[in-house]
Structure 1
């Protein structure tokens, strides 16, 4: 019975180190649900689960999302990869040619592009500085 419950639970909250962007998104959704349920309080019975997921998320972010040391073009490339996007999939920042120039470093992101990318990917504008 425990195995059956585990098989139902783990697709909703990864109980192992996060291996890819899909598992990362799933873990974030699970963490948000736990926080909404009150698990942010250490006395809550689900607080240890929130802590475990938080550790998995932090480890994944440290290895797969090198924001502080990465140049803006590399951050954009990583976000595009994680979301399965191609250069032509970002019309909000320009044509495919503009995106290509941004990714190659021939062009820098402007404030409007940073604002649009931040909104699209749900990250802080500081991510691109």
Structure 2
């Protein structure tokens, strides 16, 4: 199937346009680097959650330490949070 598409007369034009769009987006709409704790803060804000409402992480004191940068999210925290919010665990990395 791929060979048929590549044989189309407009294929190279299509590929060039795709490359130009990707370059434009990267230059004008680049995504900033985001850390896992920033994703967590955003999700908490969007869902109007308090620190004590995240059993996926544990006690409120643990959540507080993570938000303060004193602790890191563990792989288990990330798996649980991704499941709760229906997002990819990759969002936290």
Structure 1 runs (4+) greater than 4 angstroms displaced: none
- The correspondence for 2:61, drawn from 79, 97, 103, is 97
RMSD: 1.6
- 2:26 is matched with which residue? none
* TM-score normalised over the length of structure 1: 0.47
Structure 1, gaps ≥5 residues long:
1-61
Highest relative contact order (Cα 8 Å, sep 6+), 1 or 2? Answer: 2
Structure 2, gaps ≥5 residues long:
1-28
Q: Give how far 1:111 is off.
A: 0.7
Aligned residue pairs total: 64
For 1:94 and 1:102, the matched residues in 2 are separated by 11
Q: Does 1:74 align with 2:74?
A: no
Summarize deviations over 1:68-126 as a string: whole Å, max 9, x none. 61111111000000001000000121100000111111100111100000000111000
* TM-score normalised over the length of structure 2: 0.64
For 2:71 and 2:44, the matched residues in 1 are separated by 17
For 2:76 and 2:54, the matched residues in 1 are separated by 13
For 1:100 and 1:80, the matched residues in 2 are separated by 12
